Amino acid sequence: MTSIDYYSLGSKIKAKRKERHYTQEQLAELCDLSVGFLGHIEAGSRIPSLESLYKIAVALNISIDYLLLDTTIDDNNFIQHVTAAVQNKPKERYNHFCDVVKILAEHIDEM
């Protein structure tokens, strides 16, 4: 079983917070956390509850999987993951997949 690296978790939260141009105060307010507690989470010196982790992930628009394990499909690599999933399929199945994605994209506003 893999143990959680809380220093890495905190570093990822801090990096995503800065990427989104949030101050610690702004993110803490969005998550209903104290600024001090958020600072400790970012430093890796405090362990967030599942509820706090969820609030942070939602506020930063990232998955908990990314924060804990680096194993998620985020906006930056979504296309790479989709391509990897279908690239070795027979051409007919690959083309069918592409057609389905196009149809979904055309009707996304109706969903």
pLDDT digits over 13-49, tens only? 999 999 999 999 999 999 999 999 999 999 999 999 9
More confident of the two residues 73 and 62: 62
Number of domains in the chain: 2
The pLDDT score that the predictor gives to residue 87 is 75
Provide the whole-model pTM.
0.63
Residue 60 within a domain: yes
Task: Pick left, alpha or beta for residue 99 (phi over 0 → left; psi -120 to 50 → alpha; otherwise beta).
Answer: alpha
CA distances, 59 to each of 41, 55, 62 (Å)? 15, 6, 8
Residues 17, 65 share a domain: yes
The pLDDT score that the predictor gives to residue 104 is 86
Q: What range does the domain containing 89 cover?
A: 78-110
Residues 46, 83 share a domain: no
Per-residue pLDDT band at 4 (split at 50, 70, 90): confident
Residue 1 within a domain: no
